[in-house]
C-alpha cells in the first residue's frame, strides 16, 4: 500500500469520526494524513528501516495512528476502518467530495432524507427535497447540484502534486537500470499542468524487451493493458494509466517533443515545418526533396533526417527559440519564439522565502522553530509565520492577544538564531480572514505591528460576482494588507473558484500595489496560469507560497514555480526571489 492510499484512508477515517461527533480525533487523523501526503519517502521503506518508532518520528503521527499505519503496511487493510464503514450506511468519501458538504450536513441528509449515495443526493436535489431542510435552503440545493456536476467533470484527472512524485520514482528506477541509456517523462506532466490524465515516458535502449519486462513488473501496477517490444501500457494503483515507449537515439528528441505536446502546439509546429520544406513527426525532422507546388497533387520525396536527436535542434532548424515545455500550450509561444522574444522563465529553486506558514499556534503540525529548521533544510533564507485568525475557529485561529504573543515568540527565536550565527530570519505575519463585507477580523492597530499581512477568504464563497469582487477590493484597499492569498478560492477537482471580476481585481491590485499570491498547495495552485500571465502583463507583483502546514510541505514551492512558468513569469515578477530586507522594502506599505 502506497503513501497516497494510506493518506486517503486516514482522511476518510476523520470524516467518519466527525459523523460520530468526535471532538478531537478527526483533527489528529487529518494532521497525520497531511504529514503522509507531504512525504517524499515511501512509508514502506521508513517502516522497514525503523518500524513504528520511525513512523512516530514523522511530525503529526502518534502511537495510535502509527500502529494503524503498520497494520495497513503489513496487511493492506485496517480493521478499525472497516468497522467504521460497516457501521455507517453512508458513502462518506464520495459525498464529502461535494463542496459545502461536511460530515455534519451529510449526517443531517441521512437522518432526514435517508440519503446514502451520490445518486440519491442528486435525485433529492433535483426533486427539491433538500431546500426544505433546516440549514440548507434553495441556494444550498443548487450549489449541491453544481458541485456534483463539477465533481464528475474532474474525474479521471489527477493532481500534479500527486502524480509528479510517483512519476519521478518510476523514472529513477529506470535510470538505475543498465539497459536504459536515457529516460524522460513526457505529456502534460512534463508541461506541469495542474491536473494530469496519464503518465507518458520515453526511453532509449538497445534492449527494449528487457526494459518492457522491467516496466510491467513494477509493484504499483494493478493491470497490464498491453505489452509489446517497444511499447507497454499499464494501470497503476493510484488509478492512473502509464505508457512507456522505447525509441531510437536518433529520434528521441523528436519523440519527446511530439509526446510532450500539446496537440495544438504540435500542429502549429508541423505547419511551420511544411512552409520551410520539412516534414516533422515523432521520428524526426526530414527535408522534403522536390516539394509539390501549392495546389498541385502528387507525392513529394522525403530526404534524410536533418534533426531529431534533441528537441533544441528541431526548434532551431525551424527558426525558433527553444520553447520550454511549460509554455507549449499554443497561447502565443510560437509567434514569440519566432521573434526570439520568449521570457526568461523563473528558474526552479530560485525562491529565497516562503510567505505562508502555519504552525501549532493554529492548524499546523509543528512549532514555529521546527518549521524554521525545515525551511533552512529546504534552502530558504526566510519564512513568514501566517497562522489563521480568530474567525476561522476550526483552525484555532489567533485573536489580537495571541498575535501579539506570537510576535514576541518570533523575536526570541530570531535572537537565538543571531547568537548562534544561523543566517535565517523569521518574519511575523498573519493570514487574516476577510469577512463578508470585506473588512478584516483583526484590528488594524495589531496588523500594523506585523511584518507581512496576508488576506484570504474562507467562507461565503457563493456571493454574487459584484459583491464578491467588491469584498476582495475592500480588503485590498486596507493599507495593512500586503498580499491576497489564494485569490480565487478554488480547490482543484472539488470547488470551483468563486465568481470574481478578475479585470477589476487586477485593476485594484495595480492601484493599491497589492501583491497576488500563487498558492502552491497541490489542490489550490491559485492563481492559475492564465491569471498569472495577465498579472505579469500588467506588471502586478506576485509571490509563490507553499501554504505549509507541515515541515515536509516546502517542496510544494516547486509546483508554484511551475504555475508561474506556465504563466510566463520571470524572476523579476516574483517578490520572494528577493532577500528578506529587499522583499520587505517592496511591500505596498513601504513602496
Q: What is the pLDDT of residues 103-130, one digit of tens each?
A: 888 888 888 888 888 888 888 888 888 8
CB-CB contact of 296 with 230 (8 Å) = no
- Cell digits of residue 379: 534552502
Q: What's the whole-number mean pLDDT along residues 449-477?
A: 95
Band of pLDDT at residue 155, cut at 50, 70 and 90:
low
Task: Of 40-49, 116-125, 292-301, 440-449, give the range with the top mean pLDDT.
Answer: 440-449
Assigned CATH class of 253-338: alpha beta
pLDDT digits (tens, 9 = 90+) for 345-371: 999 999 999 999 999 999 888 899 999
pLDDT, tens digit (0-9, with 9 covering 90-100), for 132-146: 888 788 888 888 888
Q: What is the C-alpha to C-alpha distance for residues 211 and 214, in angstroms, rounded to an integer?
A: 5
Mean pLDDT in the chain? 91
Q: Check: CATH 3.20.20.140 for 353-585?
A: yes
Whole-angstrom Cα Rg for the chain = 26
pLDDT grade for 462, boundaries at 50, 70 and 90 = confident
pLDDT value at residue 164: 95
Question: What's the rounded mean pLDDT across residues 306-323?
Answer: 96
Q: How far is CA 49 from CA 44, 53, 77, 283, 559, in A?
A: 9, 10, 21, 45, 30
Partners of 205 in the β-ladder? 180
- Per-residue pLDDT of 321-338, as tens digits, reads 999 999 999 999 999 999
CATH of span 3-154: 1.10.150.110
What pLDDT is stored for residue 161 in this prediction?
93
Indicate the pLDDT class of residue 154, thresholds 50, 70 and 90: low
pLDDT for position 263: 94
Residue-wise pLDDT for 397-428, tens only, equals 899 999 999 999 999 999 999 999 999 999 99
Alpha-carbon gap, residue 35 to 555, rounded angstroms: 13
With cut-offs at 50, 70 and 90, classify the pLDDT of residue 292. low
C-alpha cell at 148: 456534483
Mean pLDDT across 438-466: 94
Q: CA 330, CA 566: separation in Å to the nearest integer? A: 12
Q: Is the pLDDT higher at 395 or at 506?
A: 506
The count of other CB atoms within 10 Å of the CB of residue 480 is 21
- Split at pLDDT 50, 70, 90, the class of 291 is low
155 against 387, higher pLDDT: 387
Rounded-to-integer distance, Cα 544 and Cα 380, Å:
13
Determine which of 56-70, 76-90, 333-347, 547-561 has the lowest per-residue pLDDT on average.
76-90
Cis amide prior to 527 (ω within 30 degrees):
yes
Cα–Cα distances (Å) from 411 to 37, 251, 368, 378, in that order, read: 31, 58, 11, 22
Is residue 461 scored above 60 in pLDDT?
yes
pLDDT over 80 (residue 394)? no
Examine the pLDDT at 295 and tell me if it is beyond 70: no
- Cβ neighbours for 232, distance < 8 A, ≥ 6 positions apart: 212, 215, 216, 224, 226, 243, 244
Its pTM stands at 0.83
Confidence band, pLDDT 50/70/90 cuts, at residue 294: low
% of the chain at pLDDT higher than 90: 64
Is the CATH code 3.40.980.10 the one for domain 158-247?
Answer: no
The stretch 24-48 carries a mean pLDDT of 81
Where does the pLDDT of residue 172 fall: very low under 50, low under 70, confident under 90, or very high at 90 and above? very high
Question: What confidence score (pLDDT) does residue 80 get?
Answer: 87
pLDDT at 298 over 60: no
Confidence band, pLDDT 50/70/90 cuts, at residue 301: low
Give me the residues paired with residue 382 across strands.
Answer: 353, 425
Question: What three-state secondary structure class fits 89?
Answer: coil
What whole-number distance in Å separates Cα of residue 452 and Cα of residue 307?
A: 51
- What gap in Å lies between CA 509 and CA 526, rounded to an integer? 16
Query: Residue range 545-574: average pLDDT?
Result: 96
Q: What is the 3-state secondary structure (H, E, C) of 406-462?
A: HHHHHHHHHHHHHHCCCCCEEEEEEEEEECCCCCECCCHHHHCCCCEEEEECCCCCC
Nearest C-alpha neighbor of 119 from the set 90, 159, 156, 160:
90
String of b and e for 8-24 (b: at least 16 CB within 10 Å)? ebbbbbbbbbbbeeeee
Can you read off the three cell numbers belonging to residue 306? 536533418
| Phi, psi of 440, rounded to the nearest 5 degrees | -105, 155
Share of the chain above pLDDT 70, in %: 96
User: Could you state, in order of their start, the residue ranges of all structural domains in the chain?
Assistant: 3-154, 158-247, 253-338, 353-585
Amino acid at each position: 500500500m502506497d503513501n497516497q492510499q494510506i493518506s486517503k484512508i486516514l482522511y476518510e477515517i476523520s470524516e467518519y469520526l466527525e459523523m460520530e461527533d468526535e471532538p478531537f480525533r478527526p483533527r489528529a487523523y487529518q494532521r497525520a494524513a497531511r504529514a503522509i501526503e507531504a512525504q517524499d519517502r515511501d512509508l514502506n521503506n521508513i517502516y522497514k528501516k525503523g518500524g513504528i518508532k520511525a513512523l512516530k518520528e514523522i511530525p503529526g503521527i502518534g502511537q495510535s495512528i502509527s500502529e494503524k499505519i503498520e497494520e495497513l503496511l503489513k496487511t493492506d487493510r485496517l480493521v478499525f476502518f472497516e468497522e467504521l464503514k460497516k457501521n455507517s450506511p453512508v458513502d462518506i468519501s464520495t459525498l464529502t467530495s461535494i463542496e459545502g458538504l461536511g460530515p455534519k450536513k451529510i449526517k443531517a441528509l441521512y437522518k432526514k432524507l435517508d440519503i446514502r449515495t451520490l445518486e440519491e443526493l442528486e435525485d433529492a436535489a433535483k426533486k427539491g427535497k433538500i431546500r426544505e431542510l433546516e440549514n440548507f435552503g434553495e441556494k444550498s440545493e443548487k450549489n449541491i447540484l453544481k458541485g456534483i456536476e463539477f465533481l464528475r467533470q474532474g474525474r479521471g484527472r489527477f493532481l500534479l502534486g500527486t502524480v509528479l512524485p510517483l512519476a519521478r520514482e518510476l523514472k529513477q528506477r529506470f535510470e538505475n537500470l543498465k539497459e536504459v541509456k536515457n529516460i524522460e517523462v513526457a505529456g502534460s506532466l512534463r508541461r506541469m499542468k495542474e491536473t494530469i490524465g496519464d503518465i507518458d515516458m520515453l526511453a532509449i535502449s538497445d534492449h527494449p524487451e528487457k526494459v518492457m519486462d522491467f516496466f510491467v513488473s513494477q509493484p504499483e501496477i494493478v493491470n497490464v493493458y498491453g505489452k509489446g517490444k517497444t511499447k507497454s501500457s499499464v494501470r497503476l494503483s493510484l488509478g492512473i494509466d502509464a505508457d512507456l515507449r522505447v525509441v531510437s537515439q536518433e529520434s528521441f528528441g523528436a519523440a519527446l517533443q511530439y509526446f510532450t505536446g500539446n496537440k495544438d502546439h504540435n500542429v502549429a509546429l508541423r505547419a511551420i515545418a511544411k512552409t520551410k520544406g520539412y516534414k516533422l513527426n515523432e521520428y524526426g525532422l526530414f527535408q522534403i526533396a522536390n516539394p509539390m507546388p501549392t495546389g498541385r497533387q502528387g507525392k513529394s520525396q522525403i530526404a534524410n533526417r536533418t534533426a531529431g536527436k534533441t528537441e533544441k535542434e528541431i526548434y532551431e532548424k525551424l527558426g525558433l527559440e527553444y520553447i520550454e515545455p511549460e509554455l507549449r500550450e499554443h497561447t502565443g509561444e510560437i509567434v514569440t519564439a519566432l521573434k526570439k522574444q520568449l521570457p526568461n522563465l523563473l528558474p526552479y529553486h530560485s525562491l529565497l522565502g516562503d510567505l505562508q506558514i502555519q504552525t501549532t499556534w493554529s492548524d499546523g503540525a509543528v512549532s514555529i522553530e521546527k518549521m524554521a529548521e525545515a525551511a533552512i533544510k529546504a534552502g530558504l533564507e526566510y519564512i513568514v509565520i501566517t497562522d489563521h485568525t480568530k474567525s476561522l475557529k476550526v483552525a484555532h485561529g489567533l485573536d489580537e492577544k495571541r498575535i501579539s504573543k506570537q510576535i514576541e515568540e518570533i523575536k526570541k527565536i530570531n535572537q537565538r538564531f543571531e547568537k548562534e550565527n544561523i543566517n535565517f530570519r523569521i518574519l511575523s505575519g498573519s493570514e487574516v480572514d476577510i469577512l463578508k463585507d470585506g473588512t478584516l477580523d483583526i484590528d488594524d492597530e495589531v496588523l500594523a505591528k506585523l511584518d507581512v499581512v496576508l488576506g484570504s477568504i474562507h467562507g461565503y464563497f457563493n456571493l454574487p460576482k459584484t459583491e464578491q469582487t467588491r469584498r476582495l477590493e475592500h480588503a485590498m484597499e486596507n493599507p495593512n494588507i500586503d498580499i491576497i492569498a489564494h485569490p480565487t478560492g478554488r480547490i482543484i477537482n472539488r470547488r470551483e473558484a468563486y465568481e470574481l471580476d478578475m479585470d477589476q481585481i487586477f485593476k485594484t491590485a495595480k492601484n493599491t500595489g497589492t501583491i497576488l499570491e500563487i498558492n502552491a498547495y497541490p489542490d489550490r495552485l491559485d492563481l492559475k496560469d492564465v491569471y498569472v500571465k495577465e498579472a505579469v502583463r500588467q506588471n502586478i507583483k506576485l509571490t509563490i507560497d507553499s501554504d505549509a502546514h507541515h515541515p515536509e510541505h516546502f517542496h510544494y514551492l516547486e509546483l508554484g514555480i511551475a504555475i508561474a512558468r506556465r504563466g510566463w513569469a520571470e524572476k523579476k515578477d516574483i517578490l520572494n526571489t528577493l532577500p528578506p530586507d529587499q522583499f520587505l522594502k517592496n511591500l505596498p506599505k513601504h513602496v
